[in-house]
Amino acid sequence: MYRFAFQIFLSAFLLFQIQPIVARFMLPTFGGASNVWTVCLVFFQIFLLLGYWYAYLLDRWLSPFKQACVHAALVCVSLVAYLPLSVKPATGASEYDSPLIAIVYLLVSTVGLPYALISASGPLFQNWFRTQFPHKNTYRLYALSNVGSLLGLLSYPFLIEPVLSLQQQALFWSVGFFLYFLWTLACLWTLRNVSSIASEPEGIHSGAVNLNAADVIIWVSMAAIATTLLLATTNKITMDIASVPFLWILPLTLYLLSFIICFDRSSWYDRRFWIPLLFVVTIVGLNALLRSSTPSIYFQLFAYLSVLFVGCMVCHGELYRLRPNPKLLTRYYLLISFGGAVGGVFVALVAPKIFDGYIELQLSWVALFFVSGLCVIATSRFRNRLFDLSAQLGWTVWIVFLSLFLFYFSATEKQNVLQQVRGFYGVLKLVSTELPVNHASGADRYLRLLNGSIVHGGEFYKNDEALFLPSSYYSAESGIGKAIKYTFPDEGGLDVGVVGMGVATISTLCKTCESLLFYEIDQNVVEFERKYFSNLERIRAEGVDANVLIGDGRLLLDQQFELNARPQFDVLAVDAFSGDSIPVHLLTREAIDLYMKHLRAKGVLAIHVSNRHLDLSAVVGSLATDLGLKAALVLDRPGEDKLTFQSDWIVLSRDDEFFKRIASDSVSILELQSGHSWTDEYSNLLGVLR
């Protein structure tokens, strides 16, 4: 018994350890976008489905011993072909134009077969367990499997990531997979005398022996809704905060926890508690949606994760309530995984094609109440017929109200939006705002580009003519403004580089520069600037050599340095945001070291660290200590003219004279930290939460 239980636990642990490890390897290559994790989750869902299908076919065609022989042989093949685990993102990324295709190619080529085989372990080993112990509750092993998954996830940010480098993490996982192979052989030995499924005494297991069409629809629907909830919630919090493992793992942890609770025993899911609670947490979630990104990070996490957890409890509770006889175990798990894959494909592939904004979260809430309402209404009855009708009517009214409310919310988000485009790196909105007659800029209209709730720059207009003025986060007194104004090259004009273009508002500070080079990962951003804004056109008219390179800024800088290993900038600004998300790979020791290689002797690095939820000054301070740099925090608090926004920049340089020139009340020399700096293989989100 314990042999099968341990293997189920180990396989689940490995299954959910590999997910953050592989995603961490890929983030630098694909710009740190929240969609990287979403695409990874969809891939894992689809390969989970393939694993369950493989388990179903083995169960249908072969005896338990022959199943074990085939499985052990395939595990041995993957052991030789795929291990030790090695993830090299640049290979896949360079061959395809689409980030989605590149990510899928990379995942298939590095972890595809091992992941599918481990995915099959749950139904396979549970089925083999049933041949040995027909009197035991087989479904409790599914709860044990999810315990292993949960520990695999939670151990990563708190035990694995802080202690081991990425390469060591890959080696650790490879050793675990080898142990999985050895334990598979041990289970095979146990099954050597078993040729068929043992007969089960009457009444040992409840549940239907034959498939019911209505139950199948509910299984697939509930699994799809739970997965859609998971991915949509993960998208929401990672776009508004940061795309880092901790915030990927938190929603997935709650998703797995609901599986553990519901499949451990039927008494854990009581409709009289969870259904009313679902109404309560949904109201809290609606409040968070209405307040957009203004609430604290803790309230946002509480609101969205509460709906996720309670919603998943309802979905998985109904799944367990409708579980079939264990004779249909592999088919049951196959249908659940199919539903999960449907939800994942909807969020990652279908929704971006049919919606121009992120509305999957709202749709999943409506679908959750609709399907759970069908389950409750179909099986729950009051003694009084009037109460039955009232409950059904009340539930219907709530669904209609929720749908209309969310439709109205989505419509109000598009007020003053001239154009909206959804791409791999977020939702871009072109917003026009009328200005009062006496506005300090002299303009009557302000046009800006938003990604989520974050402004990517803008432009003032007077009678439909663009005014070439500093705006948003880029005033002359901001960190980048001071860097451009007070950096004096030894000869010639100033050469400026910017990682993250937005609508090129920084151009307004570069009228006397020699050259200006932007690095922008999102083609849609470049198209918006070309079509609706004139910043690049105006700076070129001033005689500045201004250009744009499309791709991840860090990777492009690395490629440029390999081709021509010499400094090229006097000022380099790092101003890359996806929503309010911080691309962590742009704030590591390796990244800062690369930036400094591109700066001349008296060059200045300016990093934009404005963020509602994260305090990044300590991170940059530690990096400056490691690299022997001097750093200052520039706090720009604009006056009443409201031409620009409040902004926080950190400037770093080896030139002491630069810091003397920028000294003012808005500049404070950073107290450099000596803590654990962020690297490509280590980052700590918890340590920088405000």
The strand pair at 599-608 and 647-653 is best described as antiparallel
Mean pLDDT of 167-173: 88
Structure token digits, residue 598? 């591109």
Q: Rounded distance, CA 225 to CA 172, Å?
A: 34
pTM over 0.75: yes
In tens, the pLDDT along 328-372 reads 888 888 899 899 999 988 988 888 888 888 889 999 999 999 999
Mean pLDDT of 464-476: 88
155-159, 431-435, 538-542, 616-620: which range is least confident on average?
A: 155-159
Selected residue with higher pLDDT from 510 and 65: 510
In tens, the pLDDT along 184-195 reads 888 877 777 655
In the structure, how many helices (H) and strands (E) does the chain have? 24, 13
Q: Which of 308, 304, 316 is nearest to 268 (CA)?
A: 316
Asked if domains 1-198 and 473-688 share a fold, the reply is no
pLDDT at 472 over 80: yes
Helix/strand/coil for 202: coil
CATH 3.40.50.150 fits 473-688, yes or no: yes
CATH 1.10.287 fits 1-198, yes or no: no
| N-terminal to C-terminal alpha carbon distance within the chain | 48
Cβ burial, residue 332 (10 Å; 0-12/13-18/19+): buried
Residue 581 is predicted with a pLDDT of 57
DSSP 138-168: TTHHHHHHHHHHHHHHHHIIIIIHHHS-HHH
Mean pLDDT of 76-89: 82
User: How far does Cα 583 stand from its chain's mean position?
Assistant: 11
Which residue type occupies 323? R
The strand pair at 465-467 and 454-462 is best described as antiparallel
- H/E run at residue 258: helix 245-264
Highest mean pLDDT (candidates 133-142, 209-218, 568-577, 676-685): 568-577
> Would you place residue 219 in the very low, low, confident or very high pLDDT band (cuts 50, 70, 90)?
very high
> Would you place residue 525 in the very low, low, confident or very high pLDDT band (cuts 50, 70, 90)?
very high
The DSSP output letter for 472 is B
Q: Rounded distance, CA 568 to CA 514, Å?
A: 12
Spatial CB neighbours of 60, under 8 Å, sequence gap ≥ 6: 330
Helix/strand/coil for 603: strand
Q: Rounded distance, CA 305 to CA 499, Å?
A: 33
Mean pLDDT of 20-26: 79
Q: Rounded distance, CA 465 to CA 485, Å?
A: 27
Q: Rounded distance, CA 376 to CA 43, Å?
A: 33
Highest mean pLDDT (candidates 155-169, 233-247, 494-508): 494-508
Which residue type occupies 370? F
Give every strand in the sheet of 599-608, ordered side by side: 545-550, 515-520, 495-499, 569-574, 599-608, 647-653, 630-636, 667-669
Domain layout of the chain by residue ranges: 1-198, 207-413, 473-688
Residue 198 is predicted with a pLDDT of 45
Structure token digits, residue 573? 């600004």
**Over the chain, what is the mean pLDDT?**
83
Which CATH number describes the domain made up of 207-413? 1.20.1250
347-351, 359-363, 430-434, 437-441: which range is least confident on average?
A: 437-441
Residue 43 is predicted with a pLDDT of 86
> Would you place residue 246 in the very low, low, confident or very high pLDDT band (cuts 50, 70, 90)?
low
Structure token digits, residue 301? 């996490």
